[in-house]
């Protein structure tokens, strides 16, 4: 496995792979890897070709008072995990090269970014799309892989790729969870032991919402009420939002017709956690099937 810090070298590696007729598969991350990230790499290996993972803690997607300076960083651990998971290249660019002096260009998808997390983090998705476009231009992947825990991000990235005519396939991997259902996140490490136990209420709340839906309710307000009832029992969990949205536009819906996204954001102590579940009216589609993520302690949902 190669560790690359220079943009020119990364471009050369990708160009060589493309020139030899190979496929370039890309997994962008901010590091602090966990089983969720490794599931993306394992999915990437299924495509064959050159598997590239980036590690870059992107300052543009953090707002004032957020955890940019304290975001967990452990490059040695991350590169070892990436190599074990089959990465061919780990691209770790320097911030000064990504954002040189005088940098001022940005990319935004404002309509899709105004609801859900975008309402509470108004500059977040503009930072995400700007850095991803830069990384896409550097790595030149045929395929980029993202985790469905960040569902809003996936919808936004797909729109950017379509709007800007980028020749990139966006592939996704289901949410990977701890044994108690908590969605894996680098920020889970911030949780104190009692907060970690309390955070399990988010998964239980999603299950309550899905159970209400599976029982026949299509009224978004009723399903949301079921989710909020479960979360409100846990005093360490402060609801930021519980929403049911259109899967494509991310706009709130009052009545679920074909399918919808049930999304939750909550503060547990000082840690912000997000999670979601897709609700499908088509019986043969079930977004909540348990499976193996390669370890006994993890499951995919």
The neighbouring-strand residues paired with 147 are 173
Residue 123 among the catalytic residues: no
- Structural Rg of the chain based on CA atoms: 19
| Cβ 130 vs Cβ 105: under 8 Å | yes
Taken as a whole, the chain contains a residue count of 301
The neighbouring-strand residues paired with 3 are 90
Looking at residue 149, the DSSP 8-state letter turns out to be G
Looking at residue 114, the DSSP 8-state letter turns out to be S
Cα 202 to Cα 195: distance, rounded to the nearest angstrom: 12
Cα 198 to Cα 48: distance, rounded to the nearest angstrom: 40
From start to end of 101-153, where are the E strands?
143-147
> 159: part of which helix (H) or strand (E)?
helix 151-163
Q: Which of 34, 37, 119, 123 is catalytic?
A: 37
| Closest by Cα among 83, 95, 16, 20 to 53 | 83
Q: What is the DSSP string of 44-80?
A: HHHH-SEEEEEE---GGG--TTSSTTTS---HHHHHH
List, by residue number, the catalytic residues: 37
């Amino acid at each position: 496995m190669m560790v690359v810090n220079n943009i020119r070298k990364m471009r050369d590696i990708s160009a060589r792979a493309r020139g030899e007729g190979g496929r370039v598969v890309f997994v962008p991350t901010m590091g602090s890897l966990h089983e969720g990230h490794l599931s993306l790499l394992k999915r990437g290996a299924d495509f064959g070709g050159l598997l590239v993972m980036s590690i870059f803690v992107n300052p543009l997607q953090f707002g004032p008072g957020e955890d940019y300076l304290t975001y967990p960083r452990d490059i040695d651990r991350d590169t070892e995990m990436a190599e074990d998971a089959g990465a061919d290249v780990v691209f770790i660019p320097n911030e000064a090269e990504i954002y040189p002096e005088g940098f001022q260009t940005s990319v935004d998808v404002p309509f899709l970014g105004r609801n859900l997390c975008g309402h509470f983090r108004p500059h977040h998705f503009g930072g995400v799309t700007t850095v991803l476009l830069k990384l896409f231009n550097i790595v030149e992947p045929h395929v980029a892989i993202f985790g469905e825990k960040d569902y809003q991000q996936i919808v936004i990235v797909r729109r950017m790729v379509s709007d800007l005519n980028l020749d990139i396939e966006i592939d996704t991997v289901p949410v990977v969870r701890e044994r108690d259902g908590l969605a894996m996140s680098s920020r889970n490490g911030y949780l104190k032991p009692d907060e970690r136990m309390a955070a399990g209420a988010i998964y239980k709340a999603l299950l309550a919402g899905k159970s209400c839906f599976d029982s026949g309710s299509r009224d978004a307000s009723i399903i949301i009420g079921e989710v909020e009832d479960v979360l409100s029992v846990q005093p360490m969990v402060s609801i930021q939002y519980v929403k049911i949205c259109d899967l494509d536009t991310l706009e709130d819906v009052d009545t679920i017709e074909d399918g919808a996204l049930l999304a939750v954001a909550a503060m547990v102590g000082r840690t912000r956690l997000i999670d979601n579940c897709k609700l499908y009216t088509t019986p043969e589609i079930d977004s909540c099937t348990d499976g193996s993520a390669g370890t006994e302690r993890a499951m995919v949902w």
